[in-house]
Amino acid sequence: MIIVVKNNPDKKQMDNLVKWIKGLGLDIHMSRGDNTTIMGLVGDTSVVDEDLLRSLDIVESVKRIQEPFKNANRKFHPEDTVVDVGGHKFGGGHFQFIAGPCSVESEEQLITVAKAVKAAGATILRGGAYKPRTSPYAFQGLKEEGLRLLSVAKKETGMPVCTEIVDIRCLDLYEDVDIIQVGARNMQNFELLKELGRTKKPILLKRGLAATIEEWLMSAEYIMSEGNTDIILCERGIRTFEPYTRNTLDLSAIPVLKELTHLPVLVDPSHASGHARLVLPLSLAAVGAGAEGLEIEVHNDPPHALSDGAQSLRPEQFDDLVRRVDVMLPVVGKERDR
């Protein structure tokens, strides 16, 4: 981090600043020119409050050289992290499909969809038991019963399961869940993230509705700083001025993340678009941009789905999508787990 000090700084203020920085355990590389003094901060600058520095009378400007995320940073961990979910690997050239209904609705619905997506090539079954809905009057999920049905489907199909957590008080109920999803609305629920950091479960961390890439990585950092490094990031579209699609899929985030972090990166084209017919083109684009897997909503009867029917693929559409992605995978140097 570099601090440019204003011309002719007050000596007392300057001494206080130096003392404060050293008190944070940092060294200072001081460069005094005729008119300008530049301070180079050496050490772990993630502890520095940049805005506070900027607000000081004697400070002209502050520039951060190093990203504030350490554990997630590729600079300190150049090789890809590979996350194992029930024997299926994410990252490091592996490609996975997580598929299933938005919400778990009944045993029959879940098992029907699970068998269909497994036959098509999905390795992980998704299904929401606790649903974070925009309206409190919308279907909120089958909750504990939904988690029970996921266990039944897991036993019946052998597929590991992925489901969202919305309340840390329910964590004990997630014993049989293989990968815990943190939804867009909870990406900055820091207490939830810290608690998940103390578990040993892989976490699927979705991007917040209006989160920058750095904010998203700082959320991963919350989990990692507590010890859990099994994190998979999932780009699911961000809020923009464009109302035609539910969200705007930020494809550029994929290669940017691959530069910044060693964590695997997935894409959810279902929530990004909000329309079933857009899921295929966005999936292909995501694969082209370097996604290491796709999370896709599939329903056996989309018009009657209790949530997100408009964006849910029918099993045969999902099967067709997997075939088309398969054609692309050798081009991007990835192999689908079978």
Can you name the residues that pair with 335 across neighbouring β-strands? 94
* Residue of 26, 184, 192, 276 interacting with ligand PEP (CB under 6 A): 184
- Stated as kind and residue range, the H or E segment containing 181 is strand 179-182
CA distance 273 to 291: 16
Instruction: Check binding of 197 to ligand PEP (CB under 6 A).
Output: no
At 54, is the secondary structure helix, strand, or coil? helix
For ligand PEP, which residue has the nearest CB? 183
Q: Is 102 in the site for ligand PEP (CB under 6 A)?
A: yes
Complex with ligand PEP: residue 26 or 265, whichever CB lies closer:
265
For residue 302, state whether it binds ligand PEP (rule: CB under 6 A). no
Q: CA 9 → CA 1, 60, 162, 197, distances in Å?
A: 19, 10, 57, 44
From 118, 271, 299, 334, residue interacting with ligand PEP (rule: CB under 6 A): 271
56 token code pair: 């000081």
Residue 155 · residue 102 · CB < 8 Å = no
Using Cβ positions, the residue closest to Mn ion within the complex turns out to be 102
* Whether the Cβ atoms of residue 273 and residue 249 lie closer than 8 Å to each other: yes
**Beta pairing, strands 2-5 & 59-63:** antiparallel
x/- letters, 81..110, toward Mn ion (CB under 5 A): ---------------------x--------
DSSP string spanning 117-167?
Answer: HHHHT--EEE-BSS---SSTTS----THHHHHHHHHHHHHH---EEEE---
Closest CA to 206 of 229, 231, 239, 230: 231
* Cα dihedral 242/244/246/247 (nearest 10): -30
| Single-letter residue type at 254 | I
Which one of residues 141, 183, 269, 315 is an interface residue with ligand PEP (CB under 6 A)?
183
Site map for ligand PEP, 201-220, x if CB under 6 A?
-----x--------------
CB of 103 to ligand PEP, least distance (A): 8
Q: How many residues does the chain have?
A: 338
Stretch that binds Mn ion, among 14-22, 109-117, 218-226, 305-313 (CB under 5 A): 305-313
308 interacts with Mn ion by CB under 5 A: yes
Which residue's CB is nearer to ligand PEP, number 45 or number 181?
181
| 80 in contact with Mn ion (CB under 5 A) | no
Q: Which does 206 bind (CB under 5 to 8 A by kind): ligand PEP, Mn ion, none?
A: ligand PEP
Q: Could you say whether residue 236 binds ligand PEP (CB under 6 A)?
A: yes
Residues near ligand PEP (CB under 6 A)? 102, 128, 132, 183-185, 206, 236, 268, 271
